[in-house]
Amino acid sequence: MWTVLWFRPATMSTLLLLLLLSNLCRLGQSMSREEKLKLRNQVVEMFDHAYSNYMDHAYPADELMPLTCRGRVRGLEPSRGDVDDALGKFSLTLIDTLDTLVLLNKTTEFEEAVRRVLTDVRLDNDIVVSVFETNIRVLGGLLGGHSMAVMLKDAGHHMQWYQDELLHMAKDVGLRLLPAFNTSSGLPYPRVNLKHGIRGPESRTGTETDTCTACAGTIILEFAALSRFTGDPVFEVHARRALDFLWEKRQRNSNLVGTTINIHSGEWVRRDSGVGAGIDSYYEYLLKAYILLGDDLFLQRFNIHYASIMKYISQPPLLLDVHIHKPLLPARTWMDSLLAFFPGLQVLKGDIRPAIETHEMLYQVTKKHNFLPEAFTTDFRVHWAQHPLRPEFAESTYFLYKATKDPYYLEVGRTVLDNLNRFARVPCGFAAMKDVRTGSHEDRMDSFFLAEMFKYLFLLFAEEEDLTFNVEDYIFTTEAHLLPLSLSTAPHTPSPPANTTVQAPSLPHLSAYVKSLWSEEELDDSNFDWTCPNTRLLFPDPAFPRNLRDPIRSAVDKSCPRPAIHREPGMGRPPLRAQDFMANNPDHLELLRRMGVSLIHLKDGRVQLVQHATQAVSAVAAEDGMRFMQEMMELSSQQQKEQLPPRAVQIVSHPFFGRVVLTSGPAQFGTDLSKSITGVRGFVTVAEPYSGCAELSNAAFVQGRIALLQRGQCMFAEKARHIMKAGAIGGIVIDDNEGSSSDTAPLFQMAGDGRNTDDVTLPLLFLFYKEGNILLEALKEYREVEVLLSDKARDRAASIFKGKPLPGILLESRRDVQEEEEDCSTDQTSPVPAATLDQSQVRTVKQDESAPHNEDVTPEDDVGPAIKRNPEPEEEPEVDMDSSRKSVEAMMADWREDLEAFQQMEDEL
């Protein structure tokens, strides 16, 4: 029995892009129909929880902030940088969710949502938005909504009043994005002002020079659909022009593209190449453009790229970035979570074996950490600990189940559901994970969670009769919006392909096309990519998929080695060793001065060391200073790897019941929560004085509780001693720097005061201002707030939720908490490694909180290298500082690469 997944009505001879055996393997016991129905209903209940909370607490804002139960309005909340470019004050989440409502059979809610969009949403806002995000979320959302409205209207039951209003809005959005394409290359500017277009600095646009490959190459589906719906070819013409330029600029030897390109010159700014952040949906749209539009040229380009991906990037089950000019040279040793879409794309391609292998690796990483970390290393440790509820893994799970009908993938989907309910569900929706190791949350629920996650999970568990329309008549965009395949027959007049090495003739049969494209002597195996795969030959043994998965499962289970940290020998022994240095020791500071090293206290509590060789008292002292700086860099690097992991502050009282978890920094003294099975649980109260720098006046009330303290005025250990004397069982220090957040700042670890701190026996944790304010607001509203201080969040399966019983389906579907696995999460705690020495990195650098801050520190200083040096070799030729400079430059290069890659991921979704 065979089934067609995708087809093009336009060219019936190439109709079968992908033929897959519908009953490839049924290993073990199949999931019963009743169990699938229960899981399908659970998906619907979870969607209702997220959607209703957005509508109740956030609409008409763009996004819901599920921890504080309010809408995220751009300009009113602290800026998150490029992430906020997705927000345009156009009710983003509602638009992004329109076609999800129809897929989940919520036609009444859909009709109401469409009326709201038409009545409330404005598009002429004077605001700068991401062209990429606005295209896939807003334009795609409106087109998906229009497709569903037309389908329902034609069915004769709903939307009889509809007169293409969503399509008119979509064209308005398209026209507002078009000015971004006014470049010599045809590649769009990354940002556009919705009201003023591209007008230079006065509209805060037009000054950018770079964009990501995916940002420029993920336009064709939405723009071509808009052209074919409206009959106006201008949109498709511009999208094709951008794709043509990217194809022309590929590296001709490797046939790979880089991550970032100059939109004016076409030069590659970042030459690393992979299938994750910055490139991912470019490849996706080449294949899907062929499926939707019926142009063989897109398939030709995709196949050429795909062959190179499998030759250079794919190292099953891993997908590792390489350099486009030296594709045999790896570009990094970690992978980002966005590549989780690739197994699903491989299913569409028909290359099932590597799809199974990579998906299994991703699943095992998910089981280790409950979610896919934003990035993870080749030995499956956490590299970036965030997880913003990305849907790509669920997407690939759905496509693999669709291809194989292996019930194994239904169990994978069940795991995804359970983890979302256990770890991400909060009273006002679902909160992104700030740290998958601790289970702490970020006040964030992106629109793609509603647009994509619930579509794929619903389809995974739904039976054919559960769907009101045939989903195979549509193709999913990268945001999972539904575009009808019938668009391939719509009239269009695109410009002829430019900058292509092969012109694809319009032939009725692919076999004839292949024969005309290559002579017999040039024919190679890659040409068979143009044929439909025979899955009977791929998998003659029904147990074959399991045989592919088992070795990968074993490999991940045996990962997480604990290599010994070897410290390189120093070049000599300076009078002051790095490991002995204390920032509040006057003798040490005098030694630093003599060596030409100055110490700067930054506003966030970190200390920065800078060496000026000419300020040393002698050439010998300058050389000692250089050695000291080198030692400090080595020590900083070593202790960065050894630093304590973040801790969790979990609000367990009504109405949170453990479902809100805040990222906190540990103290290097007091109770080690990682060695406590139960953690420390108690009600919180504000210490008086709030600073905790004197004996508490409300000691009787603090006794037996967890004290809340404000940072500043005295040492952390002193605060701990005062609340311990008052009888507190723990303490939480809240940052006094308004606006600080674990979203943007590196993990902060509280150091001691240079004295023996063995007398401190209670746990002390640190919350940045934003997270601390969530706790303070809860205390203000509910008066009695109970929290759990622990190394990671405990089970959140409370029998009461938001004052009401949990839906029975959630209680019935819950399984026992999995046994604790070996901790595989000791790599990095933040996407932005701490750039200067602070208490969280170098335990021997003790910072007195009362030390004066240097108000003249520049922003560059604040994000500088771990040790910033300013040598002047012309005046001190006898001091050789090349090796130290190289170490700094290498450290900065690594840091910038990680930061750029992380920001690229945030820009793209």
Among 846, 145, 806, residue whose Cα is nearest residue 425: 806
pTM of the model: 0.72
The alpha-carbon radius of gyration of the chain (Å, integer) is: 29
From residue 133, give the alpha-carbon distance in Å to each of 101, 177, 270, 616.
Answer: 21, 11, 21, 53
Angle, in degrees to the nearest 10, between helices 352-369 and 408-419: 30
Average the pLDDT over 122-130 and give the result.
96
pLDDT at 899: 59
* Annotated catalytic residue within 374, 623, 906, 907: 374
Q: Which has the higher per-residue pLDDT, 187 or 904?
A: 187
Residue 445 β-bridge partners: 64
Question: Could you tell me how far CA 846 lies from the centroid of its own chain?
Answer: 34
Active-site option among 133, 244, 357, 624: 133
Location of structure tokens 């004052």: 803
Query: Residue 106 CB: number of other CB atoms within 10 A?
Result: 18
Query: According to the model, what pLDDT value does residue 636 have?
Result: 63
Q: Is-catalytic flag, 374?
A: yes
Contact indicator for 377, 828 with CB cutoff of 8 Å: no
Say if CB 767 and CB 732 are below 8 A apart: yes
Average pLDDT over residues 541-570: 60
pLDDT band at 840 (very low <50, low <70, confident <90, very high): very low
Residue among 109, 392, 406, 735 flagged as catalytic: 392
Q: Long-range contacts made by residues 112-116, C-beta under 8 angstroms, separation at least 24?
A: 114/145, 114/149, 114/159, 114/162, 114/165, 114/166, 116/59, 116/91
Average the pLDDT over each of 51-65, 177-191, 802-816, 859-873 and give the range with the smallest value: 859-873
Query: What pLDDT is stored for residue 493 in this prediction?
Result: 54
Asked whether residue 685 carries a pLDDT value surpassing 50, the answer given is yes
**Residues 143-189 pLDDT 10s:** 999 999 999 999 998 999 999 999 999 999 999 999 999 999 999 99
pLDDT for res 825? 46
The helix-helix angle for 619-642 and 882-908 (nearest 10°) equals 30
Q: How confident is the model at residue 12 (pLDDT cuts 50, 70, 90)?
A: very low
Of residues 710, 581, 703, the one with CA closest to residue 636: 581
Strand partners, 335: 376
Instruction: Walk me through the domains of the chain, giving residue ranges and CATH numbers.
Output: 579-642 (no CATH), 647-790 (3.50.30.30)
Whether 906 is catalytic is no
Q: How far is Cα 437 from Cα 763, in angstroms, rounded to an integer?
A: 19
Q: What is the DSSP string of 437-461?
A: TTTEEES-B-HHIIIIIHHHHHHHH
Lowest mean pLDDT among 15-19, 312-316, 714-718: 15-19
Residue 693 CA to residue 713 CA, distance in Å, equals: 7
Strand, helix or coil for residue 260:
strand
In the predicted model, is pLDDT for residue 869 greater than 60? Answer: no
Confidence of residue 528 (pLDDT cuts 50, 70, 90): very low
Q: Annotation-wise, does 218 bind a ligand?
A: no
> Residue 849 in contact with residue 712, Cβ under 8 Å?
yes
From the list 280, 284, 849, 907, the catalytic residue is: 280
* Cβ within 8 Å of residue 886, ≥6 positions away: none
Q: Strands 597-601 and 607-611: what pairing? A: antiparallel
Give the pLDDT score at 561: 44
- Residue 457: pLDDT band by 50, 70, 90 thresholds? very high
The 10 Å Cβ neighbour count of residue 537 is: 7
Q: What is the pLDDT of residues 27-59, one digit of tens each?
A: 446 899 999 999 999 999 999 999 999 999 999
Is 172 one of the annotated active-site residues of the chain?
Answer: no
Widest CA span in the chain: 91
The reported pLDDT for the residue numbered 518 is: 31
Whether 431 contacts 656, CB under 8 Å: no
